[in-house]
Structure 1
Amino acid sequence: MRYSLRQLEVFVAIAHQQNLTRAADELAMSQSAASSSLKELESQFGLQLFDRIGKRLQLNEQGRLLRPQAEALLAQARDFEQSLLQHAEAGPLNVGATLSIGNYLAVGLMAQYMERYPKASLQLDVANTRNIVERVLNFELDVGLIEGELNHPDLEILHWRKDELAVFCHPDHPLAQQPTVSDDDLRQARWILREAGSGTRQAFDRAMSGLLPDLTIAIELQHTEAIKRAVEAQLGIGCLSMITLTDAFNRGSLKRLQVPGRDFSRQLYLIIHKQKYRSAGINAWLNLCLQQSEAV
């Protein structure tokens, strides 16, 4: 074999970091050893994988075409190593989840996963939909759990479970006394919403089609709990997933508003790169998520 797994590790690490020094640090190598490994790989096959732009190494077209195969080979090698160690029906797994899912659903899934595979390594990163999608596309995350509508040729998108947004306010807000809320009421309200790029904001914008230019968006926040606290402080009304609001509605600290004629339903998704090698850990996580959705 004219290449080594170490050479592939260096290639993939540089593709992630776009910098030789950071890639070497990631692999606990010296910079000169990492540089030599890359040069050997390129010279052995008479190709160039990166364009050198100052200190930055950017994948060229050849590198972009080969990267998914290198990622898959390394994933298979790690999976094989775990099998040799005899405790990895499910090996290391990096999962990304959007904020509502990460804070309210993913922790329960993690607990079930770790109960089934107590020796497996599991990492959860929480960010908005745009960030999770970018990291799955960049092979930094094995699986993404997202809220936003998505269509990308490089991603496999699996329907996971249904969800619904709810418009809400403080119990003392004038709208809280109304049986239903009209479009005029929505126009006159001050809104506290998630930021653009989040799945929740995407679903809200779709539900408010035709009204968006007339709405007063007073505050945009990146965190669900911050929005709930702002509404509790009577700074405006909000719109979030029912997943995040059920406890507050039951306590009476927030009041759900009925908005007839507006569709707040949405779908939650599992995403994985089409060229990602499906290790035992990835398959175990996907099966767990789909089993959980059937039980909802």
Structure 2
Amino acid sequence: MITRKHLYIFKTVATTQSMSKAAQLLYISQPTISQKIQEIENQYDIKLFERYSKKLFITEEGKTLLNLTNSILGLYDDMDHIFSKDNRFSLKIGATLTVGNTIISPLLKQLKEQYPSINIEVCIDNTHIIEEKILNNYLDIALIEGELTHPDFIVTPVIHDKLVFACAYDFPIPDTLEIQELTRYPFINREEGSGTREQLEEYIKKHHIHLKSSWECHSWEAVKQAILYNHGIALVPLQLIENEVYNGDLKIIPIDSISLERDFCICYHKNKKVTKKLSAFIETCQIYGQELKNGYIQNQDSIPNK
């Protein structure tokens, strides 16, 4: 069988026009060089070199093989480059919109600091789109909010998240509300398919309440801007508005002692091989979740008044 080594030796001999020079360059004995050239000639029943006056001349068959050898060795070099440790294919990470608007950027910065050789591609979209991309192998892994119940998914909680009702600091609203009083105020909602919206709708359905959305937004930034400019109240991730609450621009509204909490979860297909890259991402999420928990705002008592 003709191997990569055979071809590399043949190319070196053809380039140097000398078996002894090829042996020196490759740190191989000259008899080994001669043996490998002979094995190629026997395999294809051809003559690669002619010797005249102690000098090698490549034959027409040799020139044809040299062209093929250059192409084949070039492909080997491409494979070595693509699949080397520093040039692997990207880890394709999905994130739902809440995750994308709150924690995915600092989390991936932490991942890159710990594992600088990992190449990353990121897709941020709503829960249902991310689910489809994982099922169709467009994504390797995702960090999501909301529930995915597909039997082909492995879902593991890694980061705790808290949802709060919030409005502008001077929005005309009592300091506390009953759950039923939500219907009195314009509500800024996320789009259908959002994990946050689904969680809210599931909760209020149990209390036989119907909320009419005054605004329906496809991004958390739009939700935040709407409540900052006094257009209504919204259910938002606490992490999204921490700075605005501390600055006194927004306030959290306790509603009937409601505590809406959830987990951001790692999600990947059950048939996906857990590579070192996937393990690194999962580990980083777990560490980030623990660090976040240690510095979490636990209640409104810790938030200064304006």
- TM tier relative to shorter chain: 0.5 to 0.7
How high is the TM-score relative to the length of structure 2? Answer: 0.65
Q: Give the greater-gyration-radius structure (CA).
A: 2
Who is 1:148 aligned against? 146
Contact preservation (8 Å) 2:180, 2:209: no
Distance 1:279 1:83, change over 3 A: farther
Who is 1:187 aligned against? 183
Contact preservation (8 Å) 1:91, 1:280: no
User: 1: distance between equivalents of 2:81 and 2:190?
Assistant: 40
Of the three residues 122, 125, 128, the one matched with 1:124 is 122
Who is 1:85 aligned against? 84
Contact preservation (8 Å) 1:189, 1:216: no
Distance 1:262 1:91, change over 3 A: same
Of the three residues 135, 139, 148, the one matched with 2:133 is 135
User: 1: distance between equivalents of 2:101 and 2:92?
Assistant: 16
Flag structure 1 segments of 5+ consecutive residues without an equivalent.
1-79
Distance 1:83 1:96, change over 3 A: same
User: 2: distance between equivalents of 1:81 and 1:186?
Assistant: 61
Contact preservation (8 Å) 2:163, 2:235: yes
Who is 1:286 aligned against? 282
- Alignment size in residue pairs: 214
- The secondary structure found in structure 2 opposite 1:103 is helix
Kindly report which structure 2 residues correspond to 1:165-244, keeping only aligned pairs within 5 A, or say none: 165-175=163-173, 178-211=174-207, 213-244=209-240
- The secondary structure found in structure 2 opposite 1:130 is helix
Q: Counterpart of 1:151 in structure 2: which amino acid?
A: T
Contact preservation (8 Å) 1:181, 1:257: yes
Contact preservation (8 Å) 1:91, 1:281: no
Distance 1:278 1:213, change over 3 A: same
- The secondary structure found in structure 2 opposite 1:283 is helix
Contact preservation (8 Å) 2:204, 2:210: no
Q: Counterpart of 2:249 in structure 1: which amino acid?
A: S
User: 2: distance between equivalents of 1:292 and 1:263?
Assistant: 23
RMSD (CA atoms): 2.1
How high is the TM-score relative to the length of structure 1? Answer: 0.67
Contact preservation (8 Å) 2:179, 2:256: no
Kindly report which structure 2 residues correspond to 1:10-159, keeping only aligned pairs within 5 A, or say none: 85-87=84-86, 92-159=90-157
User: 2: distance between equivalents of 1:82 and 1:151?
Assistant: 39
Who is 1:247 aligned against? 243
User: 2: distance between equivalents of 1:223 and 1:212?
Assistant: 27
Distance 1:289 1:134, change over 3 A: same
Q: Counterpart of 2:195 in structure 1: which amino acid?
A: G
- The secondary structure found in structure 1 opposite 2:165 is strand
